[in-house]
Amino acid sequence: MQPKEYCEKWVPRKYGITPGQWGYKAKCLEELEQVTGLARNTLKNWKDLTTEAIYVQKLLFYADFYNELSVFLRKYSEKEVDTNTTD
């Protein structure tokens, strides 16, 4: 997964900021920095937030999977709580 794709998917969902809004790129870089462990200066050097580094693409793929799983589990556990409280 390319950094640009990861940001387009997760920055709006996590922070409520869409591409083109003020602060989007800063949040995108912050999120990528946290997920990849790379320095912000390194991330800023990627033109159009793309990279050929396979390990970065894999890290972002795994982070995407983790985020999706977290969202699913959160929704599932909320449903379970709602079901138990309505009995």
Q: What is the pTM of this model?
A: 0.82
83 contacts 65 by C-beta, under 8 angstroms:
no
**pLDDT, greater one: 46 or 63:** 63
pLDDT confidence band for 24 (50 / 70 / 90): very high
User: In this predicted structure, what is the pLDDT of residue 22?
Assistant: 96
* Paired tokens of 62: 């795994």
If one counts the domains in the chain, the total is 1
Measured in degrees and rounded to the nearest 5, phi and psi for residue 16 equal 70, 25
d(CA 48, CA 66): 24
Q: Is the pLDDT confidence value at 87 over 90?
A: no
52-73 residue pLDDT tens: 999 999 999 999 999 999 999 9
Q: Taking residues 23-49, what's their average pLDDT?
A: 93
Among the listed residues 38, 14, 36, the one whose alpha carbon sits nearest the alpha carbon of residue 27: 14
Residue 14: which domain range? Answer: 3-86
